[in-house]
Amino acid sequence: MLVLLAYYVTRMAKRNSDGDGEMDLGFAIMHFGRAFPNEAIRELHSTVDGGAVFLRLHDDKTGIMRSHSRHYTCHLIKPGRVRVAPLDNPKGFSAEFMDAPSNNGDFVFRTEADAAEVSLWLLGNYLATADKEEAAEPLA
């Protein structure tokens, strides 16, 4: 037991001293999987600072795992419950989560392609709501 504790403390100290802010993507997968065990992860992209990981899930759902100092939050984004706005930096965007305001912020990715792909996931999530509303309207 003492050996496991020493390993854990050493690993956390190394992780904190690296300084690159990189979140372990394996950890993100495991943590999100524990929070939402019925959601299959298809793809993920982390921000440059490692403060957030966006996850594309089965059925074209989207999730976010966000670092908040010493803990992480996992959020399954409901259709139509996020607003995205462009930043001056083409590698990022600003997002407002109506169901989880603590996740609001600016998100910058390694490449423009990553930012575009994640924003398309969020747009697809938003359009899913519009399709449902349109289908619910009676035909004339």
CATH of the domain at 102: 2.30.29.50
Residue 102 lies in a domain: yes
**pTM for the structure as a whole:** 0.74
> Which domain covers residue 102, as residue numbers?
20-134
* Per-residue pLDDT at 85 exceeds 90: yes
Residue 6 lies in a domain: no
Give the amino acid at 68. Answer: H
Residue 115 lies in a domain: yes
**What per-residue confidence (pLDDT) applies to 8?**
52
**What per-residue confidence (pLDDT) applies to 29?**
84
DSSP structural state of residue 101 = G
* Per-residue pLDDT at 75 exceeds 90: yes
- Model pLDDT for residues 1-11, shown as the tens digit of each residue: 544 444 554 55
| 46 touches 23 (CB < 8 A) | yes
| 62 touches 74 (CB < 8 A) | no
